[in-house]
Every structure is written in C-alpha cells, then in structure tokens.
A and B are shown apart, each in its own frame.
Chain A
Amino acid sequence: MFIRIEPSSSSPIYRQIMDQIRRQVAAGMLKPGDKVPSVRQLAGQLAVNQNTILKVYNELCREHVLEVDRGNGTIVAQGNSTLSMSDRKKTVAALLREAAVQAIHMGIPPEQTHALLEREYQAILAEKKRSPHHE
C-alpha cells in the first residue's frame, strides 16, 4: 500500500491517509479481502503516530471500507452490504452537503456542481477498469 503525506496540504494527516485508502479501495487497487498493514507497520513506514493510524482504521471500519478479521489483522471489507441503502445514502448525503456548502461559498452554480460530481465519479470508474488485476 503506497501512501504519500503532503506536509503543505491544508488537510490533516489522518484525513490524507484515510482519503488515499478509501480511493485505492474505490479504484480497485485494494481488493476485498486484501490485508492492509498493521497499525504499527504503517505507523513505522510513514513515520506517523500510531494513534493517527488507529484513528484512520477505526473510522474506515466504521464506514465498512475495512474490517477486522479476527486473528488476521485488518482487511478490505467484503462488499459494503452491511449498511442498508438508506444508511449508505445518509453517509454520502452528509459528504455532499459539505461539498455543496463549499460550492455555494465558491460561487459554483448547481448544474456545474452536478457536472463536477459526474466527472469525478466517471474518472474513478475508468481508473477501476484500467487497474491491473494483482493477485
């Protein structure tokens, strides 16, 4: 798992790591059942506080991106079926609300905001198709 921390970014380190893992799962670079490094391993590799990694894993488990496989560490979750559709929609709605607030602050009209979302969605799907099937 390759993660890069950008010190000059304005988003906190835990969010940078979380976003990169989430993205790698969405794009199929990490597949369901794949093992992710242990908290200690990843903390050592990135030279990042263990509590930060723990926070990332806990949050991603809560979102059912990762899950704890007893005795085997943390793995990429087997599908997102554990959440009901209405709960999943609620989670996405909360994130989109933030995006909408930003769009309003930055003066981007609704149709252009829709177009931006569509473009990002398609970009990730395209990436998923292209991603090589690693074992």
Chain B
Amino acid sequence: MSETAISITDLHFAYGRHKILDGVNLDVPQGSVFGFLGRNGAGKTTAIQLLLGLLAPQSGRCSVGGHDPQTDAVAVRRAVGYVAEDQRMYDWMRVEQILKWTSSFYPTWDHAYAQQLLRQFDLPPKGKIKTLSKGQNTRLALLLALAHRPRIVILDDPTLGLDPIARKEFLRSVITLLQAQGTTVFFSSHLLYEIEPVADWVAILDRGRIVKAAPTDELRDTIRRFVLRPKASMDLSKIPGVLDVARQDGQWNVTVETAGAETRAALSAAAGDDVEELGLNLDEIFEAYVIGNRGREVAPC
C-alpha cells in the first residue's frame, strides 16, 4: 500500500445529540484524486472541517500530511490548499489586493505561479471581488488555495453553482495543474458522474459512515444487478454482498457488491437459470449504496 496523504480513524462528531459522523475511517493515498461523495447532509462538510481543525471531534483522530489538525492546525493549513463550500472572500478587496493579503499568511507563496494562474483563470487583477461572477469567484478561491503550492488540496463541493461548461473546465484544470505535479486532491461532491472521470478513488459517505471506498474503475466493474423470479420461499438477504433487494411485479432486483461464485450459486439456487445479469450506471450504483436496504427490510416471500 502506498503512503497515505490523509488518514481518518474512527472519527465521531455530533452537534449535541445530533450525530453527524459515526465512526468514519478513511485512507487517502498520496498523489491520488479522491472523490468524497454523499447526499446533502451526509456529513461531507463536517468531515472536511475536522480535517482542517476547524471543528473538534468527540473521538477519533485524523492525520493530514502527517500532521494532526487538532494539535497542529497551522502545519496542516500550510500543507493544505482549501476551498470551502461557497467560499466567502472580502468582497470590497480587489483581486490583486486579496492575492497580496493571502500571500502574507504563507511562507511558501509562489508569486510567479499566482500571476500565471491569474492569467490562466482569466481573472481581472483590478476587479473588485463583489463584481466577479460565480465562476470567477470559484476560480479565484482555487487560485488562493493553490498559489502556496500545497501538497494536498481539499475542495469542498467546488463546482456547486457552476454551469456544465465551467464545471468541466474546472475539473480539467484540476487534472492538468494538480495531477501532473503529484498533488493529492480530496474533493467532495454529490454528483457521482462528475467525480468518476477525474477520480482515482471514490468514497461514499452516508448517514455519518463510509459505506464504500474503492478505486473508481472497480465500482462499475464489480457491482451487478440480477433480475430473477425466485422459485420458492427464500431469504435473499442471506446472500453475501447484497446491497439492495427490490420487488417489482413478482420479479426481484438484487443488487450485489461483488458477484463472486458464492453469490451466483446462491442466486441460481433461488431461481434456477432464469437469472438476468446487468451492469449498473453511476446513478444506480450511488442509489444502491445510499438508499439500498441491504436486503433487510424485505420480508421473505
């Protein structure tokens, strides 16, 4: 296993009695582009704020670039470029002013690189921040996060509110700028189809837990849906690796995580040869993990 850039161990966080993170474990390999997925309210932003030391966990620990954000938040902030969800910047400043101001916090700030990004992102140096468009705002926030040449970049839903072309441009710049340099990129989104092309790895967070973390290629290769008509009464939830069981007009749709020999044998036992196997698209995969019942709620027939 390669070295990890970010590791999270048994992290718990709650606002009062409202549990947000309930034992999160995650390892982000160095140099990877890591997509962090979840529905609205799944806990993505909270997890990211814990990584930066902006919140304190009830228990568990994390390590970002070898530093603990709870005890050494400054070291973490120096190693990391961070763009918050809906990043706010002082809107009375001009672009060149905020560059100068932000640069004073970072000993490793690269002025030449900042100027290069300014041109590449097509930002007006004299423009006031309040006059920038949403897309320009996002690009400016990214510039401020990258110009100190961080080893790790954490982006909280960076493409929220951008149009499809701006989104693609944004992802393209993440790939060409950061991946070439071997920077680790950890970014959250609730759109699986947006994450898939750019991410090496994907983790799905649901109700405060990681329900799946895997290399992106593996997702569509291994997850399968079987359509069958069970012959006799049968508890399909006993089948290993079942994510979701849905019934429709006497047909059963069984979604499984990895369709190994054991699973296939169990399904054949239930329905004989009348088993149809389908691959899933990303929306269906996400759905299977997030609202899949893992076979529990369906009564045996």
A interface list, Cβ under 8 A from B: 5, 7-14, 40, 43-44, 46-52, 55, 102, 105-106
Contacts and interface: CB of A to CB of B under 8 A. Distances in A.
Contact of B175 (A8, A10, A44): A44
Contacts of A49: 33, 175, 179, 197-200, 216
A52 B175 contact: no
B127 interface: no
B278 A44 contact: no
Contacts of B217: 12-14, 52, 55
Nearest to A13: B197
Contacts of A5: 197
A78 B197 CA distance: 30
B277 A52 contact: no
Given A44-B176, A55-B217, A7 B193 contact: yes
Nearest to A55: B217
Given A10-B278, A10-B280, A40-B176, A48 B197 contact: yes
**A5, A13, A102: which has the most chain B beta carbons within 10 Å?**
A13
14 contacts: A7-B193, A13-B217, A14-B217, A40-B176, A43-B176, A47-B172, A47-B175, A48-B175, A48-B197, A48-B198, A49-B33, A49-B198, A50-B175, A102-B277
Interface residues of B, number: 28
Interface of B: 33, 168, 171-172, 175-176, 179-180, 193, 196-200, 216-217, 219-221, 275-283
A105 B271 CA distance: 12
A51 B185 CA distance: 14
Given A7-B282, A10-B280, A10-B281, A46 B275 contact: no
Contacts, number: 67
B198 A11 contact: no
Please give me the 5 A-B residue pairs with the lowest Cβ-Cβ distance, nearest first.
Answer: A10-B279, A7-B193, A12-B220, A48-B197, A47-B172
B217, B221, B278, B283 — which one has the most chain A CB atoms within 10 A of its CB? B217
Nearest to B191: A7
Contacts of B277: 102, 105
Contact of B276 (A8, A46, A48, A105): A105
Contact of B171 (A9, A13, A40, A47): A47
Contacts of B281: 7-10
Contacts of B176: 40, 43-44
A70 B213 CA distance: 37
Contacts of A52: 197, 216-217
A10 B33 CA distance: 22
Contacts of A46: 197
A39 to B, nearest CB: 10
Contact of B279 (A11, A43, A106): A11
Nearest to B176: A44
A106 B226 CA distance: 12
Nearest to B280: A10
Contacts of A55: 217
Contacts of A8: 193, 281-283
